[in-house]
Amino acid sequence: MIITFNAVPRSLTVFLLLFVAAIGLASEKKEWVKLTDCAYVAADYNDGDSFRVKAGTNEFVVRLYFVDAPETNLRYPERTREQSEYFGVTLDEAMKAGAEARETARELLRGPFVVWTRWSSASGRGRETRFYGIVEINGKDLAEMLVSKGLARTKGVAVNGPSGEKSKTRLEKLRQLEDEAKARRVGVWAHSVQSEGDKPAK
């Protein structure tokens, strides 16, 4: 016998729908995992906001939450062009800044560091799955360091932090750091032709 929702009492139908929704939400909830003593792994595709790391015996690619560093090449020309327009620089200047961001990240990650991740997949065009994460070096956030140096912008996936910090709070801090980097004309902002009022909305 086939039972349809029409044959089930309305209160039971509502309960079943809520139960199914709760199961779906529970399956989507991911807890933070702290990986200590991580090491940077050299790879051709590493850049400022996405790079290979080793944690214990495992290796994976981490993609930073909250920020976007310039591309280092024209593999995805539309993306590089959009970044150059945002920063108000030429394509060449944007790619040079991307190379500087990559080298800065590599230098900052020469020693052991911490990766916080929820193992959420970061969609990309590469063959290997990337996972979103927050990287800390001696208690300092890598994303904030890159933005302060004018080597990344506030853009991308946001999430409430492992300490309970709201994503809105982190975004506000990063935007302030970005505005300060632009005012100091450091990193890619040193070549920007934008005036203070020309900056695209985030």
Compute the average pLDDT of residues 56-81: 96
* pLDDT number for residue 13: 38
What is the value of pTM for the model shown? Answer: 0.81
Domains and CATH numbers, the chain: 31-195 (2.40.50.90)
Separation of alpha carbons 16 and 98, rounded Å: 51
pLDDT, tens only, 143-193: 999 999 999 999 989 999 999 999 999 999 999 999 999 999 999 999 999
Dump strand ranges (E) for the chain: 33-41, 50-55, 58-64, 67-68, 113-122, 130-137, 140-141, 153-154
Tens of pLDDT, residue by residue over 118-157, are: 999 997 666 778 999 999 999 999 999 999 999 999 998 9
Position of tokens 């991308």?
Answer: 156
Query: Which two structure tokens, joined as six digits, stand for 62?
Result: 């981490």
What does pLDDT average to over the chain?
86
